[in-house]
Amino acid sequence: MRIEAVIFDLDGVIVDTAVFHYQAWQQLAHEFGFEFSEKHNERLKGVSRLESLEILLEVGGIVIHSDEEKEKLATKKNNWYRELILKMTPGDLLPGAKEFLQELKSEGYKIAIGSSSKNAATILERIGYLDYFDAIVDGNKIKNSKPDPEVFLKAAAELGIKPENCVVFEDAQAGIEAAIRAGMKTIGVGSPETLSEADVVIPNLKEAGIAIFSKLI
């Protein structure tokens, strides 16, 4: 087994847009007249926009049957979120991301984004790293969100690399499960307790480097 490609989740790994998502969901909750706490927000990690909306509505005790109305609410939230991410700069890269991406590029690895976010390209453009990635597979290209392996399998296909020769960096349990189901190696970024199924767990990308791939064999 040889690692030829690295696939990154975006939010929580390369950048931290969680605070922007939270602010936008909070704004929507306030329109309905209830509080959406940070504890509630934890449940949204790694799930799609519409699934996140369902959780928010459940928390608020709000019942909406119309799919069209739900789509309108999700779009409203996303418009608020986009206003926030358009203010992002290269300074929003998480610690260690810049150095690790540069190392991967210099060593000839293929690099991709595998994210359920529909704003991945916008975020990468704002932080000045769009050209670093050989493939970007996000919520605009997939039908099934994590833990379904679709996003990672599509990324591998776009890179032209077999799944078994890919390693995924993820900060969410659903993402680790998706990568495992795709037949890929996994490196969790965050807490060992939360990401216990990953092959290796590191606190952030400052602890990454291609030397870490030796632990996957």
Active-site hit among 9, 134, 138, 171: 9
Q: Which of 122, 100, 119 is nearest to 111 (CA)?
A: 100
Residues 96/205, Cβ–Cβ less than 8 Å = yes
- Tokens matching residue 104: 């991967």
11 is catalytic: yes
Residue type, 121: A
Cα angle 46, 95, 185; round to 5: 50
User: CB count, 10 Å around CB of 127?
Assistant: 20
3-state secondary structure of 10: coil
Consecutive H or E run containing 20: helix 18-32
Catalytic residues: 9, 11
